[in-house]
């Protein structure tokens, strides 16, 4: 187990998670959510998604399948008010990943340390998040959904278990927790079975956006009506999360200068790296137990084959997250020199879809460290070999804890200092929730 301090279960999700682990301590409003829902096997989540949108199973048929989806345009609502409101429990789903009771599925999830690959969990959360949104927007009269629902943001994933066991059943639960005009916030929880009881492993908050059948323009989604004071609190938190995201992005170091306190930090680092033997701005010296930030990175390349496509024939967001996470883990591992454990994932923004056939360049960077913690940023971009253009598709932020204290990472240039400050901000936001 992580130290208690690290157990980042926020009040409401943990209430929901607790509710689902035992029938006795539950609050009635939340308990209702699991009633009448039979769990879905994890392997059926993707097939359900394919059925909902009418996705092709053969790559060669994908153009025709997309053509057929165009006809669904007429089913889109002209105004959000035309869509019937939904309750949180309408989109509530439970998914079982039976690692304990069906050992034959373990291999795909296993890492070399005999625990569960977190990258695989990211893929399952992404598919489940989308299925929850399709459940929220389901119209009984429609055989196929006209909506293309895509992952826009992984707001946060906070873990409260260091190890995920490869031989115990896992349960995912979740529902839509907030709705805008065309976007939906989804809260999910993961629990693992130990001695007959499910105990919480992680909480995740994703934002999904609904688009038209061709994934070109935004499309309205059903409003959400909270039914109890607890649900009102969850809904309000969703609203606050949106405001916080706007605030964080407005103050981004890509748009605004650092604060006075941050400028002092950067200048102190600069002074600390001046060579005392020379009176020069240029002559820089690495302080003891430190690593230059430029020497703390790892790069990778993925060719995006059709196998990794999603139901809209773009690259599956979960696959992108798995690849970025694994590079982030390797970067933390080679930096710290011991096995890192994931503590938190935050603010993964899916800025642009990745087309099948793309060359995806991934760059993992240690951008901030503190004691045993390593803050990693993975930048992914698509390279077009014909035009020689690069486009950023995602930026991922991961917080790891290492077994031992790690060296300090030191920026040299102004750009690297901004990377350092951005990492420090993300780290502070994660620690605030602990």
Ligand X SMILES: CCCCCCCCCC(=O)SCCNC(=O)CCNC(=O)[C@H](O)C(C)(C)COP(=O)(O)OP(=O)(O)OC[C@H]1O[C@@H](n2cnc3c(N)ncnc32)[C@H](O)[C@@H]1OP(=O)(O)O
Positions touching ligand X (CB under 6 A) are 46, 49-50, 126-127, 130, 150-153, 180-183, 207, 209, 211, 218, 310-311, 314, 316-317, 349-353
Measured from the CB atom, the residue of 16 and 382 that comes closer to ligand X is 382
Cα–Cα distance measured from residue 154 to residue 349, given in angstroms and rounded to the nearest whole number: 7
Cα–Cα distance measured from residue 391 to residue 351, given in angstroms and rounded to the nearest whole number: 10
Measured from the CB atom, the residue of 59 and 414 that comes closer to ligand X is 59
Measured from the CB atom, the residue of 50 and 138 that comes closer to ligand X is 50
Cα–Cα distance measured from residue 363 to residue 392, given in angstroms and rounded to the nearest whole number: 11
Is residue 233 a contact partner of residue 12, using CB atoms and an 8 Å limit? yes
Which residues does 185 contact at the CB level (< 8 Å), separation at least 6? 155, 176, 177, 178, 179, 205, 206, 207, 238, 241, 242
Closest CB to ligand X: residue number: 180
Measured from the CB atom, the residue of 183 and 369 that comes closer to ligand X is 183
CA nearest neighbour of 10 among 240, 252, 348: 240
Listed in order, strand segments (DSSP E) in 148-246 are 148-159, 170-179, 183-194, 197-211
Measured from the CB atom, the residue of 99 and 209 that comes closer to ligand X is 209
- Residue 47 C-beta: closest distance to ligand X, Å: 8
| C-alpha count within 13 angstroms, C-beta hemisphere, residue 171 | 20
- Residue 420 C-beta: closest distance to ligand X, Å: 24
- Residue 30 C-beta: closest distance to ligand X, Å: 25
- Residue 239 C-beta: closest distance to ligand X, Å: 11
Is residue 204 a contact partner of residue 157, using CB atoms and an 8 Å limit? yes
Measured from the CB atom, the residue of 337 and 357 that comes closer to ligand X is 357
Measured from the CB atom, the residue of 77 and 286 that comes closer to ligand X is 77
- Residue 127 C-beta: closest distance to ligand X, Å: 5
CA nearest neighbour of 133 among 24, 231, 219, 207: 207
CA nearest neighbour of 186 among 204, 210, 171, 170: 204
- Residue 170 C-beta: closest distance to ligand X, Å: 18
- Residue 146 C-beta: closest distance to ligand X, Å: 16
């Amino acid at each position: 187990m992580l130290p208690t301090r690290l157990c980042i279960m926020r009040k409401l999700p943990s209430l929901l998670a607790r509710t689902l682990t035992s029938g006795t301590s539950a609050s009635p409003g939340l308990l209702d959510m699991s009633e009448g829902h039979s769990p879905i096997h994890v392997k059926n989540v993707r097939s359900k998604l394919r059925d909902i949108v009418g996705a092709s199973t053969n790559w060669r048929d994908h153009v025709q399948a997309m053509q057929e989806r165009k006809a669904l345009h007429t089913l889109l609502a002209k105004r959000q008010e035309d869509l019937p409101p939904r309750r949180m429990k309408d989109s509530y789903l439970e998914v079982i990943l039976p690692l304990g009771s069906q050992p034959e599925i373990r291999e795909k999830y296993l890492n070399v340390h005999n625990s569960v690959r977190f990258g695989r969990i990211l893929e399952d959360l992404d598919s489940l998040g989308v299925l929850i949104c399709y459940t929220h927007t389901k119209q009984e009269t429609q055989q196929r959904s006209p909506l293309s629902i895509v992952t826009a943001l992984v707001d946060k994933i906070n873990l409260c278990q260091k190890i995920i066991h490869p031989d115990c059943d896992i349960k995912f639960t979740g529902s839509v927790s907030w709705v805008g005009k065309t976007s939906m916030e989804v809260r999910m929880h993961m629990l693992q079975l130990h001695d007959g009881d499910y105990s919480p492993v992680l909480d995740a908050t994703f934002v999904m956006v609904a688009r038209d059948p061709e994934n070109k323009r935004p499309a309205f989604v059903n409003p959400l009506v909270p039914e109890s004071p607890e649900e009102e609190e969850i809904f309000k938190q969703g609203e606050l999360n949106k405001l916080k995201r706007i605030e964080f992005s407005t103050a981004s170091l890509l748009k605004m200068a650092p604060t006075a306190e941050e400028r002092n930090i950067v200048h102190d680092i600069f002074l600390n790296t001046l060579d005392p033997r020379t009176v020069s701005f240029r002559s820089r010296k690495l302080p003891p137990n430190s690593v230059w930030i430029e020497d703390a990175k790892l790069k990778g390349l993925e060719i995006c084959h059709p196998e990794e496509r999603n139901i809209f024939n773009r690259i599956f967001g979960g696959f992108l997250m798995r690849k970025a996470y694994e590079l982030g883990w390797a970067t933390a591992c080679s930096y710290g020199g011991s096995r890192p454990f994931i503590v938190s994932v935050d603010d993964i923004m899916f800025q642009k879809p990745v087309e099948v056939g793309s060359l995806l360049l991934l760059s993992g960077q240690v951008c901030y460290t503190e004691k045993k913690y390593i803050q990693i940023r993975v930048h992914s971009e698509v390279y077009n070999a014909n035009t020689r253009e690069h486009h950023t598709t995602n930026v991922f932020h991961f917080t790891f804890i290492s077994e031992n204290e790690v060296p300090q990472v030191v920026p040299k240039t102004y750009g690297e200092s901004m990377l350092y400050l951005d990492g420090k901000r993300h780290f502070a936001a994660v620690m605030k929730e602990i």
